[in-house]
Chain A
Amino acid sequence: MTVAAAHEIKTGHSSPARKRRDLTVRRRTPLVTLLPALIGLAYLVLPLAGLVIRAPWATLPERLVAPEVLMALWLSVQTATIATIACLFLGVPLAWLLARSSFRGRQLVRALVTVPMVLPPVVGGVALLLVFGRRGIVGSWLDSAFRITLPFSTAAVVMAQVFVALPFLVIAVEGTLRGADTRYEEAASSLGASRWTTFRRVTLPLIAPGVAAGAVLSWARALGEFGATITFAGNFPGRTQTMPVAVYLALETDVDAAIVLSLVLLVVAVGILASLRERWLSSGATA
């Protein structure tokens, strides 16, 4: 019965088609494409290998626990985590708005949301400075009304990170929302659930994997943020000097320190990829 089959696919029950071996005849890859492909792969892998090879392995343990490294690492983890939480609070509702409501200019809003993804981060930093700086439109008001100064503070680091990371979360969650079956929400409403209850008890659990993936992506992006941070938050050890900023500065004084810091970031990145492997890398393949 076709309906039953469709149901089975939707609910992800055992589908024999998946287990069946693919018997399609694979044609050999032509040399013309193989060569550039291999060069491309090497180009991506070699620098990372170089980083690992050049690492000062002998002094690595003590360098890792050096106060500057730990301070930068701790600040990075803290700010990236706070930024991710902020992204969740702002981004999930924004994604909802884009995926589920229809209003005039929705396409425009969607385009605006993605701008920070393609904008050079340093431009974002300048823009933030112009708005939230002491003479900025919002900044001058904050300064006079509450004596709050944002630039070159830890808060500024978080703001810069949110600015660049938020689009990643919005896009990931919006995609998941679009893929989710809205009839579950209809079922919940038919049972008398308010829109908020439906969102909290049905929609959110259903899109949880997408939200988690979006959060991890945002966290990674926030952790690696450099351009907007150094422009808007500056470079004060312990306060605004995050890992990427520390790497950049260490490069001028102590190359080994820069390598160690880079290595830490590389390990974090690989860890993130591993955690997302199921969702993002195996597109189309068996999960």
Chain B
Amino acid sequence: MMTAAAAAIAPALDARVIVDRANFRLDVSFTVAPGEVVALLGPNGAGKTTTLRAVAGLVHLSDGHVRLAGKTVDDPAHRVWTPIEHRNVGLVFQDYLLFPHLTALENVAFGPRSRGASRQRARELAATWLDRVALGHCAHQIPRQLSGGQAQRVALARALAVEPTLLLLDEPLAALDAGTRVNTRSELHRHLANHSGGTLLVTHDPLDALILADRLIVIEGGRIVQQGDAGTITAKPQTEYVARLVGLNLYRGEADGHTVGLDEGFKLTVSERCLGAVFVAFRPSAVALHRHAPEGSPRNAWEATVVGIQHHGDNLRVELGGPLHAAADVTPDAAVQLQLERGEQVWASVKAAEIRSYPVSEEALTP
């Protein structure tokens, strides 16, 4: 969603990344608008990280271009090349790479100091950023003394402290354990929403991509196979991989105990108790379709319209319209029995136990 005014501003990133390797060719082109979060999603070896490193200036392009806020920083055909230190990008590595000999504060102050701020000013800025990621009390600890989640937040603060045109995140949550991950993810979501520059996020975790990003770009074998928002990609996967990976119905809503009122106006019953703003998600395979209103156990049932049907693997993915835009996976046999056709009315149901919920912000965690 770009307003006319925003469209007039140059994108934070406009890239055509072509990198030739011995038996691999990466060729992707995409843009990231200021304030937009774009996720590069794909299997290992798809070229996600190479794309990110090429945009950052850590990998040379074979061809193509990289423009940051309208300024060409890499264009091999015209012999334009700007080294990373002059690109104004912020980089968060998978394992954070906090400088082990510097305190959290010195790590965050490193960027402003390198970009010409006085020692005093850099430290003030760093303190402000550490407060923003709620780590003011850890300012004088060295990275070894920080937990994984804390280190991740310091790495984020360090990257954001230089107010980058483009923030680059390489698997920012991959090194965290499952528990820390939920918190850190919601925290990251909040910071990305406040970041005025563009954000390019590389991940192989569809949940990270769906929750954190405004737009997804799926890369396979060095090519973009699909891009769009989460709903579109889930409902209309273009490849087998996308269908398997991004197969997740995801909604935002307000939780009140076991009930979540979705932004779409629909209410879902969930098995986990939570409060406040949450994401709720369920797999298309968890959606059961019926000819008539189901009786008994599944408490979440609604009448839907079949908007589209697609083959993927042995199954069919059914795109449903109605009160809830959702995707459902059914076997071909079931499809025949249900006489599924575009425009048909069906009943859809999901068991409460099949629905996972994730708090949008920290506050939502308190039960």
Whether B95 contacts A188 by the Cβ 8 Å rule is no
- Find the A residue at minimum CB distance from B94: A3
Whether A186 contacts B84 by the Cβ 8 Å rule is yes
Chain B CB within 8 A of A10 CB: yes
Q: Which residues of A contact B240 (CB under 8 A)?
A: none
> Which of B84, B94, B144, B171 makes the CB contact (< 8 A) with A190?
B84
Q: Which residues of B contact A194 (CB under 8 A)?
A: 85, 114
- Find the A residue at minimum CB distance from B155: A187
Docked complex: A198-216 residues within 8 A CB-CB of B: 201-202, 205-206, 208
Docked complex: B294-336 residues within 8 A CB-CB of A: none
CA distance A202 to B97 in the complex (A): 11
Whether A190 contacts B95 by the Cβ 8 Å rule is no
Q: Which residues of B contact A47 (CB under 8 A)?
A: none
Whether B100 contacts A206 by the Cβ 8 Å rule is yes
CA distance A60 to B101 in the complex (A): 45
- One of B13-21, B67-75, B174-182, B284-292 at the interface: B174-182
Count residues of chain B with CB under 8 A from any CB of chain A. Answer: 33
Whether A7 contacts B89 by the Cβ 8 Å rule is no
Smallest Cβ distance from B170 to chain A, in angstroms? 10
Count residues of chain A with CB under 8 A from any CB of chain B. Answer: 28
Whether A193 contacts B110 by the Cβ 8 Å rule is yes
CA distance A197 to B99 in the complex (A): 14
Interface of B: prevailing SS: loop
- The proximity string for B residues 82-111 relative to A, scoring 1 for CB distances below 8 Å and 0 otherwise, is 011111111101110101110000000011
Chain A CB within 8 A of B219 CB: no
Q: Which residues of A contact B93 (CB under 8 A)?
A: 183, 187
Q: Which residues of B contact A183 (CB under 8 A)?
A: 93, 97
CA distance A80 to B28 in the complex (A): 58
Chain B CB within 8 A of A58 CB: no
- Find the A residue at minimum CB distance from B85: A189
Known: A205-B101, A206-B101. A190 touches B115 (CB 8 A): no
Smallest Cβ distance from B44 to chain A, in angstroms? 12
Per CB-CB distance, the 3 closest pairs between chain A and chain B, nearest first, are A191-B111, A190-B91, A193-B114
Residues of A at the B interface (CB closer than 8 Å) are 1, 3-4, 6-7, 10-13, 181, 183-184, 186-195, 197, 201-202, 205-206, 208
**Could you give 25 example pairs across A and B, Cβ below 8 Å?**
A1-B174, A1-B177, A3-B94, A4-B177, A6-B95, A7-B148, A10-B95, A11-B95, A11-B144, A184-B99, A187-B99, A189-B84, A190-B84, A190-B85, A191-B85, A191-B90, A191-B111, A191-B115, A191-B162, A192-B115, A192-B162, A193-B85, A197-B114, A201-B99, A206-B99
